[in-house]
Amino acid sequence: MATEKQDSSRKRPPNFRIEIPGDETVKSRILEKLQKVKGYLTSTLNKPVNNSLIIEELLDFWIKQQLGSDNSKELHPFPSTYSQTRSQDVDQGLFVTAEKSLDTYGELYEAHTSICNGKLKVLKRTMKGHVASVRLMCTKEKSHSYLWSSSSYLPNDEFLVNHRICHAFYSSGLLPVHYTRFVNGAGIGCITKERRLKFFRTYKEHAENESVQSVDNAINDEISSYDDLDGINIMTDARHGWRKNAKDTTVVALGEKTHKVMDCEHITKSQDKVAQRHERLGTQIIYENLENKNVSIKIHAHDRNLAVNKFVRDTQFTVNQNDLWHAVKAVKKLSPRFPKVPNVQRV
Ligand SMILES: [Zn+2]
Q: pLDDT tens digits, the chain, 347 residues: what are they?
A: 444 454 556 788 888 888 899 999 999 999 999 999 898 888 888 888 888 889 988 888 888 887 765 554 555 567 778 888 899 999 888 999 999 999 999 999 999 999 999 999 999 999 999 999 999 999 999 999 999 999 999 999 999 999 999 999 998 989 999 999 999 999 999 999 999 999 999 999 999 999 999 999 999 999 988 887 778 888 888 887 655 556 788 899 999 999 999 999 988 888 888 877 888 899 999 999 999 998 888 888 887 777 777 787 777 667 777 655 544 544 555 444 444 444 443 43
CA angle at residue 299 from 222 to 288, to 5 degrees? 75
Kindly give the distance from the C-alpha atom of residue 242 to the centroid of ligand 1, in angstroms, as a whole number. 60
Kindly give the distance from the C-alpha atom of residue 128 to the centroid of ligand 1, in angstroms, as a whole number. 27
Kindly give the distance from the C-alpha atom of residue 8 to the centroid of ligand 1, in angstroms, as a whole number. 51
Kindly give the distance from the C-alpha atom of residue 190 to the centroid of ligand 1, in angstroms, as a whole number. 33
Kindly give the distance from the C-alpha atom of residue 142 to the centroid of ligand 1, in angstroms, as a whole number. 7
Q: In what order do the strands lie in the sheet with 248-255?
A: 261-268, 248-255, 232-240, 297-302, 319-322
- Per-residue b or e along 233-263, where b marks 16 or more CB atoms closer than 10 Å to that residue's CB: bbbbbbebbeeeebebbbbbbbbbebebbbb
What is the chain's percent helix, strand, coil content, to nearest 5?
45, 15, 35
Q: Give the separation between CA 180 and CA 338, rounded to whole angstroms.
A: 54
HSE-CB of 293 using CA atoms within 13 angstroms: 20
Q: How big is the chain, counted in residues?
A: 347
Contact 281, 237 (CB under 8 A): no
Q: What is the DSSP letter of 153?
A: B
Kindly give the distance from the C-alpha atom of residue 147 to the centroid of ligand 1, in angstroms, as a whole number. 14
Kindly give the distance from the C-alpha atom of residue 135 to the centroid of ligand 1, in angstroms, as a whole number. 14
Prediction pTM value: 0.59
Contact 306, 278 (CB under 8 A): no
Contact 212, 289 (CB under 8 A): no
Kindly give the distance from the C-alpha atom of residue 111 to the centroid of ligand 1, in angstroms, as a whole number. 10
Kindly give the distance from the C-alpha atom of residue 78 to the centroid of ligand 1, in angstroms, as a whole number. 20
Of 241, 251, 253, nearest in space to 295 by CA? 253
Kindly give the distance from the C-alpha atom of residue 59 to the centroid of ligand 1, in angstroms, as a whole number. 30
Kindly give the distance from the C-alpha atom of residue 138 to the centroid of ligand 1, in angstroms, as a whole number. 5
Q: How far is CA 337 from CA 2, 106, 254, 299, 341, in A?
A: 101, 70, 22, 11, 12
pLDDT of residue 237: 85
Of 234, 236, 242, 233, nearest in space to 265 by CA? 236
Kindly give the distance from the C-alpha atom of residue 137 to the centroid of ligand 1, in angstroms, as a whole number. 8
Contact 48, 39 (CB under 8 A): no
